[in-house]
Amino acid sequence: MRPAVLILLALAAAAPAMAADPRPEITRDAVQAQAVGVVHTLRQIPEACARIEGAFTGDAAEPYRFAVVRTSPNCQPRARFVDAAKARPSVSAGWVFNDLLRVPNAACPSQQAVVRVWRKPVDQTMNLDGQGQSRIYVEESKQAAAGGKLAAIPMFAAEMGVEGDACGS
């Protein structure tokens, strides 16, 4: 076979793998390898008043655990963090693949946790009045809230998986 044909065949074989994960908005290197049992912050999302924490467990059934933790009780979120299993984020559903975090296991270099962060933006442009000002009227806002017509807010979701070979104990 010609080299050009071999290259095309290799690209065609790799295309489904590349299509599985769209390119994230944020590009970063792998996170520093983490020891088993050490809780570490993966990512902070200030607009949702949340941070994603994770830890390798050393348990073969559940090698990595992560949780979304509120950053401060006084923080007023401008976005909501939702369960990825329920939201099922995808590009076709209006979600944006925001970040891909790879965390190697220090005790088992062949294993890494992979956390995918998705973002669902909403149009938050404000209508301006005749003077070019954005105005919020309390009574109108109360009536809209009572009628269930609240403005949509951006959402975030994170899903986690473990890749690589498990190490024996």
- Collapsing DSSP to helix, strand or coil, 92 comes out as helix
Residue 15 is predicted with a pLDDT of 38
Lowest average pLDDT, out of 10-24, 32-46, 139-153, goes to: 10-24
Domain of residue 73: give its range.
Answer: 24-164
Question: Based on the structure, what is the number of domains in the chain?
Answer: 1
Residue 149 half-sphere exposure toward CB, CA atoms < 13 A: 6
Enter the DSSP assignment of 27. Answer: -
- The amino acid that residue 22 corresponds to is P
Rounded distance between C-alpha atoms, residue 33 and residue 105, angstroms: 5
- CB contact set of 80 (below 8 Å; sequence gap of 6+): 48, 153, 154, 155, 156
Instruction: Count H helices and E strands in the chain, helices first.
Output: 3, 7
Is 7 part of a structural domain of the chain?
no
Cβ neighbours for 137, distance < 8 A, ≥ 6 positions apart: none
Whether 13 shows a pLDDT value over 70: the answer reads no
- Determine contact, residues 88/157, Cβ cutoff 8 Å: no
Asked if residue 66 has pLDDT above 60, the reply is yes
Q: What is the mean pLDDT of residues 115-125?
A: 87
Is residue 11 in a domain?
no
pLDDT at 169: 54
Q: What's the pLDDT score for residue 168? A: 66
The reply to whether 35 falls in a domain is yes
**pLDDT attached to residue 59:** 87
Please give the model's pTM, rounded to 2 decimal places: 0.73
Q: Is residue 9 part of a domain?
A: no
